[in-house]
Amino acid sequence: MNLRTVILAPWRASKPAAQGMALLLLALAVLGAIAVGMYSSKPAWWVGPALIIGIGEGFLWAFVMSSTVLLAIDARQLLVPGIRCSVIVGLLLYGLLSVAVPTVVLSLFGEHPGATGAIITLFCIGGFAFALLPRYLGTVMCLMPAALNALPPGIRMPGPADPDFLHVAVLAVAALLLMLVVCWRRLLHAASPYTSGWTQPMVMQFRYAGRRAAWNPWTGFGGGIHGVDSTQRIRRRPSWLQPVADLRDCGPGHPVRSLRIALGGLFMPLTMTAHLRQFAFVIVPSLLFVVLMTLQGVHRHGVAALLTAWHDGGLIMLIWFGAFGSMMLAFFCIGQVWQLWQKPNAELPLLALLPGLDGSAQVKRDLLHAILLQPMRVLALLLLVLLMLTASLHLSARASLFVLLGQLGSIGFMVAFTLTIIGGRPLGPWATGALAIFGCILINVSLFVPTLSDPGQMKLGGGTLPDLFVVGWVVLAVALPWLGRRGWRGLMQRPHPFLPN
């Protein structure tokens, strides 16, 4: 064991993509903390920067530092000596640096070094625990801050600026540390440590990150957040959450429905029970979150104030949430199509040789229907709901236009990229990434900035911002049809559409 091995251990154990993301978030957090620190005029100004840096470091510990456990497991399984020791010393060293550096910097301005250190320690250990605890407990952990805030005033937890905070934080740190030691030991000594699933820690998912194919922006969307393929995803999912295909009305007489079954995932027709299960899986945590936030609001401001706040802010959040959801749905569809057209041994050869999907031109149209029709219906429904919400809030015509544009942008992305993939003319990964990020930012900012600018009247912000939006939307309005046309021509020229890329 030497210092170099100790320092490099976490960076060797984690994937470059995770490192890049975590470091970028940390850098953004530091910049955000500086900005908040400079412009805050509150007496407890140090809480904001400490929380923001804590979040950034929490991500680093959740997605980079936690991977050291994988290295330790591998070392134990392969009976390689010394690595486990390097990993533990490395974690202690990075832990010390993670807490000491921001605490010292913030303390230079003479404010509460103990509480600052405690906040940052909690986030670092919390991030690490999120990755090492079983996945269902990790999900519960994410709801903890909201749950604690929702407690009635009599048993409320002390906030970071309260005098009792340090005592509670020390107890929480000790409890989390104890839990981490137990998890670490359990993982290291497990008979089969490489299994994954809902009862296994999140960190085991990182083993599969980016294992298949080269990097592509759609990898994450097609294969879940860590780029695993459909087979692995199904294998890890508990039985009660498996989607059950509705095989009624399929066969050569029902090509579109048959293709939807063959494409699986988001496109597959489900039985009613499976629909309810999937729906519940999304709705229950969301409702839980809403209930917690409502309780928090009631405790703090009372019911009347909460209703007003809900009308002013809640509907705006719903608009943003709906539009963001639409974009995610479009990206997930593209991701799934991208993944299907990457695999030469999966559904494509089966479909290419399946009799009954008559005539290639008809098959191409049926395939487009099978991929696009269901998501388009959902997006159209969401658009209707969003327009109703904008009308109920009396948003300005321009703000409503941006909501409409956001939805159309999501639909445009889905259609254009689907065509390029099944037409065999996909863009390169960097061009795809650049366009996806550009579209993502444009759609979100277009939705968010107008609604934030003046919550009372919901008018667009002044200055040059709208002009920039217009330029951005013109670029997207040119790029997406061009892509779509390119894909369409490729599709028409292909002898059949089931050729992998």
Partner 1 sequence: MNAMLRETESAIVPLAVSGLVHCYEGSNALNGIDLALEPGSVLGLIGRNGAGKSTLIRAMLGLLEPLAGEARVFGEPALQLSDAAKARIAYVPQQPEALAWLTAQQMLDFVGRFYPRWDKAFVTNTLGRWRIQPNKLLAKLSPGERQRVDLIRALASQPELLVLDEPAAALDPVARRELLREVALRAGESGTTVLFSTHIVSDLERVASEVAFLHQGKLLMRCSVDETKERYARLWLPGKMSAAAPTQSLSRRRHDDGSLSLVVERDASGHWPEAASLPGARVDALGLEDLFVEIAE
Compare residues 197 and 313 and give the one whose CB is closer to partner 1: 197
Kindly state whether residue 219 participates in binding partner 1, applying the rule CB under 8 A.
no
Nearest approach in angstroms of CB 361 to partner 1 is 11
Residue 388 has, within 13 A of its CA and on its CB side, a CA count of 7
| Angstrom distance (rounded) from CA 6 to CA 65 | 12
Kindly state whether residue 423 participates in binding partner 1, applying the rule CB under 8 A.
no
Residues 6+ apart with CB under 8 A from 194: 73, 204, 207
- Per DSSP, 428 falls in state P
- Chosen residue from 43, 152, 355, 428 binding partner 1 by CB under 8 A: 355
Compare residues 65 and 259 and give the one whose CB is closer to partner 1: 259
* Residue appearing with tokens 């890049």: 20
Compare residues 152 and 355 and give the one whose CB is closer to partner 1: 355
Kindly state whether residue 300 participates in binding partner 1, applying the rule CB under 8 A.
no
Compare residues 247 and 468 and give the one whose CB is closer to partner 1: 247
51 phi and psi angles, rounded to 5 deg: -65, -45
Kindly state whether residue 231 participates in binding partner 1, applying the rule CB under 8 A.
yes
Compare residues 318 and 354 and give the one whose CB is closer to partner 1: 354
- Chosen residue from 95, 134, 349, 433 binding partner 1 by CB under 8 A: 349
Decide: 426 and 338 in contact? Cβ < 8 Å.
yes
Three-point CA angle 30, 32, 34, nearest 5°: 70
Residues 6+ apart with CB under 8 A from 290: none
Q: Is the dihedral of CA 433, 434, 439, 444 positive or negative?
A: positive
Decide: 254 and 112 in contact? Cβ < 8 Å.
no
Kindly state whether residue 499 participates in binding partner 1, applying the rule CB under 8 A.
yes
Compare residues 329 and 357 and give the one whose CB is closer to partner 1: 357
Kindly state whether residue 358 participates in binding partner 1, applying the rule CB under 8 A.
yes
Kindly state whether residue 309 participates in binding partner 1, applying the rule CB under 8 A.
no
Kindly state whether residue 350 participates in binding partner 1, applying the rule CB under 8 A.
yes
Kindly state whether residue 197 participates in binding partner 1, applying the rule CB under 8 A.
no
- Chosen residue from 114, 251, 455, 481 binding partner 1 by CB under 8 A: 251
Compare residues 251 and 313 and give the one whose CB is closer to partner 1: 251
- Chosen residue from 16, 344, 455, 461 binding partner 1 by CB under 8 A: 344
Helix axis angle, 83-107 relative to 3-13, nearest 10°?
A: 90
Q: At 413, which amino acid appears?
A: F
Q: Which stretch binds partner 1 (CB under 8 A): 18-26, 244-252, 369-377, 462-470?
A: 244-252
Nearest approach in angstroms of CB 154 to partner 1 is 50
| Angstrom distance (rounded) from CA 204 to CA 193 | 9
Kindly state whether residue 262 participates in binding partner 1, applying the rule CB under 8 A.
yes
Nearest approach in angstroms of CB 218 to partner 1 is 18
CA distances from 10 to 62, 65, 196 (A): 12, 5, 21
Kindly state whether residue 215 participates in binding partner 1, applying the rule CB under 8 A.
no
Kindly state whether residue 114 participates in binding partner 1, applying the rule CB under 8 A.
no
| Angstrom distance (rounded) from CA 200 to CA 296 | 31
Compare residues 114 and 251 and give the one whose CB is closer to partner 1: 251
- Chosen residue from 32, 264, 429, 433 binding partner 1 by CB under 8 A: 264
Kindly state whether residue 403 participates in binding partner 1, applying the rule CB under 8 A.
no
> DSSP alpha helices (H): ranges in 302-428?
303-309, 315-340, 347-352, 360-392, 397-422
DSSP codes joined into one string, 194-241: T--STTSBGGGGGGGTT-SSS--TTHHHHTTTTT--HHHHHHHS-GGG
Kindly state whether residue 192 participates in binding partner 1, applying the rule CB under 8 A.
no
Kindly state whether residue 460 participates in binding partner 1, applying the rule CB under 8 A.
no
Q: Which stretch binds partner 1 (CB under 8 A): 135-143, 171-179, 209-217, 235-243?
A: 235-243
Kindly state whether residue 220 participates in binding partner 1, applying the rule CB under 8 A.
no
Compare residues 231 and 308 and give the one whose CB is closer to partner 1: 231
Report the 10 Å Cβ neighbour count for 498: 22
CA dihedral 96, 101, 104, 105 (to 10 degrees): -170
Decide: 64 and 8 in contact? Cβ < 8 Å.
no
Report the 10 Å Cβ neighbour count for 152: 9
User: Which pair of structure tokens corresponds to residue 470?
Assistant: 């217009």
Compare residues 265 and 409 and give the one whose CB is closer to partner 1: 265
Nearest approach in angstroms of CB 97 to partner 1 is 43
Compare residues 176 and 259 and give the one whose CB is closer to partner 1: 259
Q: Which stretch binds partner 1 (CB under 8 A): 15-23, 39-47, 78-86, 255-263?
A: 255-263
Kindly state whether residue 374 participates in binding partner 1, applying the rule CB under 8 A.
no
Give the distance from CA 285 to its chain's centroid. Answer: 15
Decide: 460 and 405 in contact? Cβ < 8 Å.
no
Kindly state whether residue 234 participates in binding partner 1, applying the rule CB under 8 A.
yes
If binding means CB under 8 A, how many residues of this protein chain bind partner 1? Answer: 41
DSSP codes joined into one string, 194-207: T--STTSBGGGGGG
Kindly state whether residue 82 participates in binding partner 1, applying the rule CB under 8 A.
no
Kindly state whether residue 481 participates in binding partner 1, applying the rule CB under 8 A.
no
Which residues would be at the binding site for partner 1 (CB under 8 A)?
Answer: 229-232, 234-235, 242-243, 245, 247, 250-252, 258, 261-262, 264-265, 268, 343-350, 352-358, 360, 494-496, 498-500
